Structure 1
């Protein structure tokens, strides 16, 4: 699975709707579902699926007979042979022909059968590609979504630090005015307040930038109106961290569309080998044709009449006598035979078998077979590469999740200690038992500890969701 900016570009089109509904707050599932319906790359892949489906249907219909209707009409000048009467003449003539031809391949080395199987596999592989792209989008949406949530919580921590500093400034100002504290303490606290305010501004900018980055991926017309919901995310249990990554990989092998797609392409390559091998077999076909023709040189009489023609014979005595015999004969004038009459009169039919045996064709069959075998080996190597990539990704995700979880546990302890330390430092500072420098160090240490805990928390959540994705082929917050 390849997570990159080109995959995510334009995937979160859900924000286009917020330009018309500024009060809407989008949850992650809404964004993902809308993205899956509007992403350009998904649409392109879906079109490829449709193309493969069309090829699949074409391969299935290829086993049916072929029928073609051919016709022509022309003028002849000079010496020529009439294609209808087969007479040589120099007269100008107009001729026409109409032919219906049929061809049905009975056997060609099972090439059509293998082609149907290959087209089915290619269609299935395209479906896996579509599912794989959708999975990439879901993961990228989750990562972007969690980044915004993290920046929101860091902003809360920064504002809390600013609030504490503001309280200290207010308290110290009153002491200075009463003459109980030196002016320098007030100035130091005001400087710290300014630094805390800078941190708030930086945190606000980070949050704004994370939203804009997500909005830019969405190609938002008005990103200022974009807002996401802030669910209360609990820290997942460590069950996945404790699980053997090899078992996660074994499960993912049966679920991930990238692996299934690569396996399907290996099968498709093997079918293509069979197709190339079939080129060495004879092709047996049933052929048939029905045709008719027309020529303006064919004449017919205007009518007929019955005449008596004396026929010689012998009487009983052996003498020759003539007996009248009635016969119908054409009478002029002669006219061009009509097109409709010629179509029926000149009709001809043909049916037969055609056998084509490949003897030598420039080693094309042999070369195609070798190329197909190489393509199969490439598909097998691609499958192994996909497996290795999946294995490395899962093992890395598992190690990252484990490290994030341990980091989060350590950060929790650090936050608890820092809170106690800050509470104690605050009490001592307020009674004058702690100087300004040590107090600020305690406050800053608490802020850093909280920020680190938040980063570890969201990093662990995302890494856990990645592992859940490889186990279920779904991602949910």
Structure 2
């Protein structure tokens, strides 16, 4: 019998899905790529192993759902039995006219059997509903894991951005130090300054160079972390694209608003709610064991045997048709059904606790995110003010050093204050951005720069 078009389409889609799940992206091997945050998140969602594991679980749940629906249909089985026997020669009996020869005889029987469940305490319907909810829950698990990997990628991506900005500032400091050392060397050559002043600036230049090297090494490490999160192979030369601007926070949404939105829409809460419903269906399924089962059955069978007439005659003459009803009533199950029902009720209680714990955990996470973003905003405002003051102080000290109005010791002190303020400002800026993105993510706003 030819395959139906719908079945062929389903088979093709299933094979394509498995191919996407397990085939590595060979097009990236040995290439140089530069991705922005959106591309990193999109790639991670498609290639993360844990997410793809959940996708396979979803396929399994879908198959279980189809199996549950198929339980409504009648079954059909066929059987065929063919026997051959050989009779040895015996003495001839004149009275009966038998014996005196040997021969081969054959016999066979053939049947078709079918049965369908008419009533089983709503077991089939409840199983279908439970399986359907399991499909929804499996899909929510994928979304939840995608949310988790999104936050991980964002945190790693912003860490690299922080490193890149540090490198820019540190490179500028190294260039400034080199210029100052060159000018101080000229002054020393003509005897305008003492050697101690030159050594002080040379030491500062070495310190700035060391800081720059550390910043570059930190960037390499954070890039490797992001690359490994993306599951990129070692032969891929990977870097990120820095956004043009990073906008500071203007306002922070009220905690209660974000909390309510998260509790209503986050996949972990919806999944836990489905878990309660799935467990409740489990109770109904278990209780079906107390109820009778009514099924209808039918059979077609025929047979033949050598020596009983022609084959067509026997098959037609022995052709039987049967139809009937079977009622099975549980009377004593040795506590099997009662135990199943009680265990199902315990599962409902456990699912309720899981839901309660999920809501509490999510609420606490949103509250922590709110505290983090408000703290980060105040830290950024303070760091920005500190940076501006120290930047101006450093600018004045630099001009004073050029004309000899300040000694190198005081200049180094002012420069170190500026460097500390600069590092604190950069850290505060990206910390504010990260905490805001996480906080907004809880209220359903996609992460993008």
TM-score (norm 2): 0.87
Q: How many Å separate the matches in 2 of 1:397 and 1:21?
A: 38
**Secondary structure at the counterpart of residue 472 of structure 1:** coil
Q: 1:16: Cα distance to partner?
A: 6.5
**Secondary structure at the counterpart of residue 419 of structure 2:** helix
When residues 284 and 20 of structure 1 are mapped into structure 2, their CA distance, relative to the original with a 3 A threshold, is: same
CA contact (8 A) 2:249 2:432 kept: no
Q: Deviations over 1:83-111 (max 9, x none)?
A: xxxxxxxx986432212111111111111
Is 1:423 the equivalent of 2:395?
A: yes
- The aligned length equals 413
Q: Where does structure 2 lack aligned partners over 5 or more consecutive residues?
A: 1-20, 88-102
When residues 197 and 265 of structure 1 are mapped into structure 2, their CA distance, relative to the original with a 3 A threshold, is: same
Q: Where does structure 1 lack aligned partners over 5 or more consecutive residues?
A: 1-10, 79-90, 301-336
Is 1:381 the equivalent of 2:393?
A: no
2:147 corresponds to: 135
Compute the RMSD of aligned alpha carbons: 2.2
Is 1:276 the equivalent of 2:248?
A: no
Matching of residues 166-245 of structure 1 within 5 Å = 166-222=178-234, 225-240=237-252, 243-245=253-255
Q: How many Å separate the matches in 2 of 1:67 and 1:267?
A: 34
Q: How many Å separate the matches in 2 of 1:14 and 1:197?
A: 41
When residues 53 and 286 of structure 1 are mapped into structure 2, their CA distance, relative to the original with a 3 A threshold, is: same
CA contact (8 A) 1:235 1:457 kept: no
Q: 1:198: Cα distance to partner?
A: 0.6
CA contact (8 A) 1:49 1:127 kept: yes
Q: 1:400: Cα distance to partner?
A: 0.7
CA contact (8 A) 1:15 1:226 kept: no
Higher Cα radius of gyration: 1
**Secondary structure at the counterpart of residue 44 of structure 2:** helix
Is 1:52 the equivalent of 2:64?
A: no
Q: How many Å separate the matches in 1 of 2:26 and 2:84?
A: 65
Is 1:293 the equivalent of 2:303?
A: yes
**Secondary structure at the counterpart of residue 297 of structure 2:** strand
The equivalent position to 2:367 in structure 1, one of 371, 379, 395, is 395
Is 1:470 the equivalent of 2:442?
A: yes
TM-score (norm 1): 0.82
Q: How many Å separate the matches in 2 of 1:383 and 1:14?
A: 37
Matching of residues 443-454 of structure 1 within 5 Å = 443-454=415-426
Please say which of residues 396-405 and 38-47 is displaced more in the overlay.
38-47
CA contact (8 A) 1:15 1:218 kept: no
Q: Deviations over 1:118-156 (max 9, x none)?
A: 111111101111111111122211111111111000111
The equivalent position to 1:108 in structure 2, one of 84, 104, 120, is 120
Bigger proportion of residues as helix:
2
Is 1:262 the equivalent of 2:272?
A: yes
